[in-house]
Structures are given as C-alpha cells and as structure tokens.
Chains A and B, each alone.
Chain A
Amino acid sequence: MTDLSAYKELYLQTAYTYLHALQSNLRRYKENGENSTVINELHLSAHSLKSQSLVMGYMSTGYVCKELEYIFREIKDQKRSLTPQLSITMIECLKKLNDSLDSIKNSGKEIDLSSEKDVLEQISGVRTNN
C-alpha cells in the first residue's frame, strides 16, 4: 500500500487550483452563455479533481467530482444544457467541495458530501457506488 500522506500538500495545491477553475469558469459560462472552450475546461477540471481525490482516498469528494464530470461531459456533447437551476446547484456543490478541501487541509479528513452526490446523481441519472 502506498503512503499517500507525503502527497497531501501537492494534492491540496492542485485541488484548490482545479476548484477555483471550476468556480470561475462556471461563472463565465453563466454570464456569457454557451462557450465550448469554457465547457471543455469545466469538464477537464472536474475530471482531474475527481482522479486526484479518489487516488488520495477522499472518496466522497471524488464521487461528487465524478458526477460533475459526467454532467459537464453531457453539456460538452450537447446532450444537456446548463440551465440556471443546474448552475445554482453546481455552485452550491462547489462551495461544499471547498469546505471539504479546507477540512482536509486542517484535519486531514474530508467532509461527508453524500447529500451533494445524491442531488447530482438525480440530475445525471448515473449512480456511483459508495
């Protein structure tokens, strides 16, 4: 088993970067409308934050990102639109993701994001096993 504690600082550094990219790009998308570059960046950031979080064992954080990744992929593939309501839901999820990163930074433990995961699963229709 790999000792991941040595990678915690690097994880946090890059995770916050991805989270801030998600927040700013979501704002841009909301303010300026459809933009393929922005949606690509949203998808990529969610994907990367998901992967890192799951590798580090922050499963609750990773699963929320997986749902976000899936929804952004659907928007990217034009199978779904980013409605104002969906935007609001995602912004709230990103706030909770920020809380989780803060908790990891301060205590080494993520927070429980199962409620946020459930909300996103209802939107995406894709269940993630816990």
Chain B
Amino acid sequence: MKILLVDDDLFFQKFYSTKLKEAGYEVEIAGDGDEALTKLTQSQPNLMLLDMIMPKKDGFEVLETLSKNPQLVRPPIIVFSTLGDNEDVQKALTLGAVDYINKSFHDVENLKKKISLHLST
C-alpha cells in the first residue's frame, strides 16, 4: 500500500516516513500542495496524509482543488493537526478529509490504526 505524505517540514517528512515504512507501507513525499497534486495523478497513492500549513499551495487549497475537480484521483485523506487548530480541522473535514491526526501529542500507533481503517473502507 502506498501513502503520499504531504508536509514541507523535513523533520516530519523523516519522522513519519520512517514510522510508516517500519509499518510496511510504501511512502512517497511531497513538500507542498502543488507537488502533492502532481504526485496524486502520477503515482496514485492509496491514502494521503496532508499537512494544512505549507508554503505555496497549502492543505486547504489542495482539498478545494480536489473537491472542485472530481475527475482527479482522490484517495482517503487524513489531515495533520496541531494544538489549537480545531477550526482548521473542521474546515478540512468539510472540504472532504476523512479524518485527522493530532501531530502535537504524537501517537504513531493511533496514526497506524486510522490509516488501516481508512484503507479498508
């Protein structure tokens, strides 16, 4: 199963890609929203983990682009949130994200469970 990890932060790219690979997933990384949309079409991942605050095109713009273009490939999208971002999470869910993971209080096991859940639905 292939996961597209969308995050501009090198720390989180390394952290989550390592953990996901250890869990047996193939991981592709995109550093911003534009790259994410390109890779969605090119490599057709089974699921996308999406950070919301990024340079250039952010996570909200990615979700909006996908919602306005139903012909684009759209896997289940889990968004990353951090402390104090409740409104952002709600907005992301309204725009079509299926779930969220709190990045602040890391819980890799919870992330794996959510990924497994949404890959099976």
Determine the main DSSP class of A at the interface with B. Answer: helix
A2 touches B19 (CB 8 A): yes
Residues of chain A from 1 to 28 with CB closer than 8 A to chain B in the complex: 2, 4, 7, 10-11, 14
With contacts defined as CB atoms under 8 Å apart, how many contacts are there between chain A and chain B in the complex?
Answer: 55
Complex CA–CA separation, A51 to B53 (angstroms): 11
Nearest 10 Cβ contacts at the A-B interface = A54-B104, A14-B11, A51-B82, A55-B106, A47-B53, A52-B11, A48-B9, A2-B108, A51-B103, A14-B10
Contacting residue for B14 out of A10, A41, A126, CB 8 A: A10
A126 proximity list for chain B (CB < 8 A)? 84
Beta-carbon nearest neighbor of B80 in chain A = A51
Complex CA–CA separation, A40 to B11 (angstroms): 20
Give the interface size class of chain B.
10 to 19
Given contact pairs A66-B84, A70-B84, A128-B84, A54 touches B11 in the complex (Cβ within 8 A):
no
Complex CA–CA separation, A44 to B84 (angstroms): 15
A interface residues, tally (CB under 8 Å): 22
14 more A-B residue pairs beyond the given contacts A14-B9, A14-B10, A47-B53, with a C-beta to C-beta distance below 8 A? A2-B19, A2-B108, A7-B15, A10-B10, A47-B82, A48-B8, A48-B9, A48-B53, A50-B83, A51-B82, A51-B104, A54-B83, A55-B15, A66-B83
Beta-carbon nearest neighbor of A6 in chain B = B18
Q: Mark B77-102, 1 if CB is under 8 A from A, else 0.
A: 00000111000000000000000000
A66 proximity list for chain B (CB < 8 A)? 83-84
Complex CA–CA separation, A44 to B81 (angstroms): 14
> What are 26 sample pairs from A and B whose C-beta atoms fall under 8 A apart?
A4-B106, A7-B11, A10-B10, A10-B15, A11-B11, A14-B9, A14-B10, A40-B55, A44-B8, A48-B8, A48-B9, A50-B83, A51-B12, A51-B82, A51-B103, A52-B9, A52-B11, A52-B12, A54-B103, A55-B15, A55-B103, A62-B104, A66-B83, A66-B84, A70-B84, A126-B84
